[in-house]
Amino acid sequence: MTSSLHIIGAGAWGTALALTAERAGSHVTLHTQSQKQADELSRSRENQLYLPGITLPDNLQITADRHALRDADALLIVIPAQRFEALCLSLKSILPPTIPVVLCSKGIEVGGNNRLLSEIAQAYLTNPLLVLSGPNLAREIAQDLPAATTLAGNKDVSHKVATMIHHTYFRCYTSEDIIGVQVAGALKNVLSIACGITQGMGLGHNAVAALLSRGLIEMRRLGLQLGAISDTFMGLAGVGDLSLTCSSELSRNFSLGIALGRGESLEAILAKRVSVTEGVYTAKAVHELNARLANELPICEIVYRILYKNLSPQEALEQLAARPLKEEIY
């Protein structure tokens, strides 16, 4: 029997996941934010704003009616992290509790308790929760280029949902570390901004490699304090996604960092973008969270100061370079 997979969020990543699930043989319904957007996508069969040039198959259903979710076998949520709580609240009275919910956004709540998305979902929904994260650029997935991802959560449920999206060119690995996969997916965006700034300043490959490797240690350090499994950070959701996001200008976070490193203001960069650059918000969330946890996260903290405290990239470089010599501790 064909599985019915619903996706909320018709941005680049949500649309790409809809395409890859359709290739896996699922019956896919893509939920837009408005009826106007649903009508436009249905008419043009192309997401011209977020994925121009990619044709949407005729059997891909597009709707703005949330009540259609009652027929789903699984739901993927692909919206900006800072809008996640409002969506969960709206789904509370609509979504049957047996439907697995897959969190495909990458971020941490700004303000409040700086919750992971799974913690926000658990406050409103009783559904089985999974997290999907990995080195997956939306346009390449949409183009059906080979990729792999991690689906974390209950082993039986994750295997069931994996069959709905897994196919020859989209390999889906499962994990039970729902915390580690989320921390990795969130922090890699902050670290990607740091690496982009370094490239934008023309500081060379050595500097980027140093930031990437030390950033991985910060990611793991925070993850372990929140209850993650160490090995997760050496997998697709950790070093895999980090290495991709810190090296490709298709990454919104890396390209934002490059622009900052070249002297553009954050306001000017964001004004030209239609998609959310999650790392900007996550940098603030990590700063707030770490004010309570007291971890040593110097790269994440420097990115926060650049974005929110008017620290110049040159001053940031000098502050990182002036840190005292120490043993390399993992």
**Phi/psi of residue 63, nearest 5 degrees:** -150, 160
Confidence of residue 240 (pLDDT cuts 50, 70, 90): very high
Q: Could you confirm whether domain 4-176 is CATH 3.40.50.720?
A: yes
Share of the chain above pLDDT 90, in %: 96
Confidence of residue 321 (pLDDT cuts 50, 70, 90): confident
Please give the structure tokens belonging to residue 108.
């941490």
Confidence of residue 28 (pLDDT cuts 50, 70, 90): very high
What's the pLDDT at 253?
A: 98
Residue of 92, 160, 188, 326 marked active site: 188
Contact call for residues 107 and 189 (beta carbons, < 8 A): yes
Please give the DSSP secondary-structure letter assigned to residue 246: T
Confidence of residue 70 (pLDDT cuts 50, 70, 90): very high
* Residues 272-289 pLDDT 10s: 999 999 999 999 999 999
What's the pLDDT at 301?
A: 97
Distance separating alpha carbons of residues 243 and 137, to the nearest angstrom: 12
Instruction: Specify the domain boundaries for CATH 1.10.1040.10 within the chain.
Output: 179-321
Share of the chain above pLDDT 70, in %: 99
* Residues 74-90 pLDDT 10s: 999 999 999 999 999 99
Please give the structure tokens belonging to residue 3.
């599985």
Confidence of residue 329 (pLDDT cuts 50, 70, 90): confident
* Prediction pTM value: 0.96
Average pLDDT value for residue range 4-33:
98
Domain 179-321, CATH class in plain words: mainly alpha
Inform me whether the pLDDT recorded for 330 exceeds 80: no
Distance separating alpha carbons of residues 290 and 114, to the nearest angstrom: 10
Are β-strands 147-153 and 129-133 bridged in parallel, bridged antiparallel, or unpaired? Answer: antiparallel
284 catalytic? Reply is no
Integer Rg of the chain from CA: 19
Confidence of residue 24 (pLDDT cuts 50, 70, 90): very high
Q: Tokens 């993927």 correspond to what residue?
A: 76
What's the pLDDT at 327?
A: 85
Inform me whether the pLDDT recorded for 175 exceeds 90: yes
Q: What is the DSSP string of 2-61?
A: --EEEEE--SHHHHHHHHHHHHTT-EEEEEPSSHHHHHHHHHHSB-TTTSTT-BPPTT-E
What's the pLDDT at 326?
A: 85
